[in-house]
């Protein structure tokens, strides 16, 4: 197993940037694909971005594409989500998740076995 802890959330005005971190421990972090999801109040969990074990295939949702960037540093057992040009609708609790295998769809929550506790991102003027 792997344990995941997100950090880096906060309150920012529209147009600002945040970088979220996902620190892994337990089983070797580098063996897992990493996904980022978010959930706003009253809404379903939504896929944001993902990156594979070898860092060769980042994948983004339509809402994240062009504004967000996912990366990882396996030497530090940490994955990142750089969020730029933040919008009010980006407000949500952001979660990182780990998957040993992806069976066809990076944006399905059920593909991921392990989840962090989430970090709050609030975009407000």
Q: Give the model confidence (pLDDT) of 23-58 as tens digits.
A: 999 778 899 999 999 999 999 999 999 999 887 788
The two most distant CA atoms of the chain are separated, in Å, by 41
**CA distance linking residue 31 with residue 26, whole number of Å:** 11
At residue 54, the pLDDT reads 81
Pick from 79, 42, 47, 39: nearest CA to 65: 47
């Amino acid at each position: 197993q792997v344990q995941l802890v997100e950090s880096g959330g906060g309150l920012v005005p529209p147009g600002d940037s945040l970088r979220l971190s996902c620190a892994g421990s337990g089983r070797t972090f580098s063996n897992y694909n990493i996904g980022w999801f978010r959930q706003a109040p009253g809404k379903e969990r939504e896929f944001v971005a993902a990156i594979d074990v070898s860092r060769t295939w980042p994948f983004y949702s339509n809402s994240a594409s062009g504004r967000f960037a996912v990366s990882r540093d396996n030497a530090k057992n940490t994955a990142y989500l750089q969020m730029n040009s933040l919008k009010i609708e980006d407000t949500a609790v952001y979660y990182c998740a780990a998957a040993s295998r992806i069976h066809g769809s990076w944006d399905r929550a059920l593909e991921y076995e392990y989840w962090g506790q989430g970090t709050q991102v609030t975009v407000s003027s």
